[in-house]
Amino acid sequence: MAEIFALMVPLEVDELDFLRQKLLREQQSFWTVMRSLLISSIAMPVLALIVFKSLRQPDNTQFIKRTDFPDYYFLLAALLVMLLISIAGYISYQRFLGKLARDCREQLKIIERTTILRKVFMKSNGTCHFYLDSGTRLSIEVLPKDFTFYETGDEINIEYSRNAKEYFGYY
């Protein structure tokens, strides 16, 4: 792999708007999933408790032995599942949404100079691609006029956000 030449510059207004809209969409999806998981983490043990309580026979003899499943086990199960979901949610937020949020705060992008390793035309969908010598982007889709203009070994610049590595374009 060749030496990486990169430059950090401020985001343009449309790029920042794109990142903010993506962050908003992703946060809405994230909180919808987290809300559903947390509600189900409470609902499942409560439903299981109701089912186990209803298995008792009317003459007050129990179908399941009292020592097998004390009532507080269901509460502990609900708390444990909520804790695990919360930890997984925090890690997921930090790995994905946190990077987008940092990009929106910092408002910086990276312009990286990279070399075209291979040019590929995809007959199946009629698109043109460059394979690059970059650690961030292995390939990019390009315009047909750029596909004919640039040759293998030429250098181009690609732009992407600093933390989330959201691709903005090339020139």
- Quote the pLDDT of residue 49: 78
- Quote the pLDDT of residue 161: 95
98-106 and 13-54 helices, crossing angle to 10° = 150
- Quote the pLDDT of residue 47: 84
- Quote the pLDDT of residue 63: 55
H, E, C per residue of the chain? CCCCEEEEEECCHHHHHHHHHHHHHHHHHHHHHHHHHHHHHHHHHHHHHHHHHHCCCCCCCCCCCCCCCCHHHHHHHHHHHHHHHHHHHHHHHHHHHHHHHHHHHHCEEEEEEEEEEEEEEECCCCEEEEEECCCCCCEEEECHHHHHHCCCCCEEEEEEECCCCCEEEEC
Which range (48-52, 64-68, 133-137, 164-168) has the least confidence? 64-68
Domain boundaries, the chain: 11-106, 113-164
Cα gap 153→127, rounded to integer Å = 20
pLDDT in tens, 17-76: 999 999 999 999 999 999 999 888 888 877 877 887 777 655 555 555 555 556 777 778
- Quote the pLDDT of residue 6: 82
pLDDT higher than 80, residue 3:
no
User: Is 133 in contact with 2 (CB distance < 8 Å)?
Assistant: yes
User: Structure tokens of 152?
Assistant: 């293998």
pLDDT in tens, 75-131: 788 888 889 999 999 999 999 999 999 999 999 999 999 999 999 999 999 999 999
Q: Which residue did the predictor score with more confidence, 77 or 154?
A: 154
Q: What is the pTM of this model?
A: 0.74
